[in-house]
Structure 1
């Protein structure tokens, strides 16, 4: 099959990226050679129709850049993106248009993602009108239907963002995204700015929409408790690379990378009698402009071996559907797993 032939959509994931990289130039000042920040470094992952993939990692790990690059909102420096089997990177403009007509993004800040000069109804109607989703006469009814779908009332259509709470604005942002009738939504830290009670409402809404309309979701977050509840699979990102991925329960219960284990161990506990993690995550990630040799995590890793400190980044290994990029031998599992023992109660109860 050639790159531009019509694909058999049933044979492909809904969205797939292969060795995707995104680089940004960094000015070094007068007389200094320009350098680049490798924000996303040879990432490969996929999302199936109707599934939720969690993308987790510390701030600055490249999660948001990856999400935007997958939707062609950032220019990739290398790699490929396929949507329903169709090559999007270096593809025809019509393919990119088709991608954007079937995908949508929910942003972190619920206020800045909406136009303050438009009412909610005008904001949603604009999407319906620009993309010809319904006839002009049917737009008001469709706006009311979308507001009801996300837990708002049709009366909210006449209000502007500044008259609403953060939770209501985020629901409106989701309604605007759903106006595209997308197959995939990229939710970029979409509950991080909300109160805990409102977070739970938005997560319940996303779970309900996934079941009702078969929506696929890339859920970008740093809160592992939410990811454990919402996501079918999880990918852990560190300094531009995916260092572990697999089914959510498998990654949480038996992490194969010390960074993942440290994140799981750091999930807050409500029991004051439980001890703190024996090896808490220390320090800050190194600068992305000059990454250390070997595994980029080794300066912070309590289990680093000499092999971790030299050469290139570790290759990704696979055990069934569980992938991880770590050189630790099988004996190291006895040192990694205790970091997560009895640390999952908060996530399970969320």
Structure 2
């Protein structure tokens, strides 16, 4: 197996992108990173900015000029992580346009270079499918087009179809990765980063934890080290080519129990305070949540040799310690 030497990463200053950068540099790869810093942070990658193995470009993936030959013809693999997601509070048009245009530009560049392309997708593409756990062959059950919440899932499903269409038409390999609830140090501190991010902030400020709906909806959270292990294996393993993989921990937890666990681990004074928020309050329109989300991770284990190692409690302990170290909170 010939390892790729030079790797292009979009969204490099974001949560997953910066952790992947750490892994790639540690493993001896050369990395070109692209990020427009609209959601990513320069501080996430500043420890690599003087490293000769790394070149950072503050550019926008939706601009075709970003992907010109000045990036070099010797790129062995592109990892496309940059995206816009979850129009919970609006901006569905940004979700649809940014994800389509960015992915189209990335795939067109991969075609020009004839290089492997690893693309980030999402567990959201399974939609409301009631049959769990979700395997890579499970159906996508998407709600009404009048419900903007589904625009993220649809944008990623389109990206997946576009990637396989490019592979079939032009012959370069693609790999699709469906992430399940990645979290950890450097996650975004808003809902963009996930419920655990917001819950930690609320607990450390002795505030009410805001639970959407009744809190009985479940998720499977994956510590960032495990997610990155899956991404890296997909990059270097040729057996991944042309495949879709769930990248996730199959430990299922209700959102209510997530809140209780964060409160207990944080060891903050006082009782747990909960505030239940009806979905209708998001936009005044109908919002549809997914009530259960659990991956079948067997394909990732068998083909990529990667299985999630970090328990939710262990991962949350590290994440709370990091978030507390920012010095932004009461406790």
TM-score by length of 1: 0.27
Larger Rg: 1 or 2?
1
TM-score by length of 2: 0.28
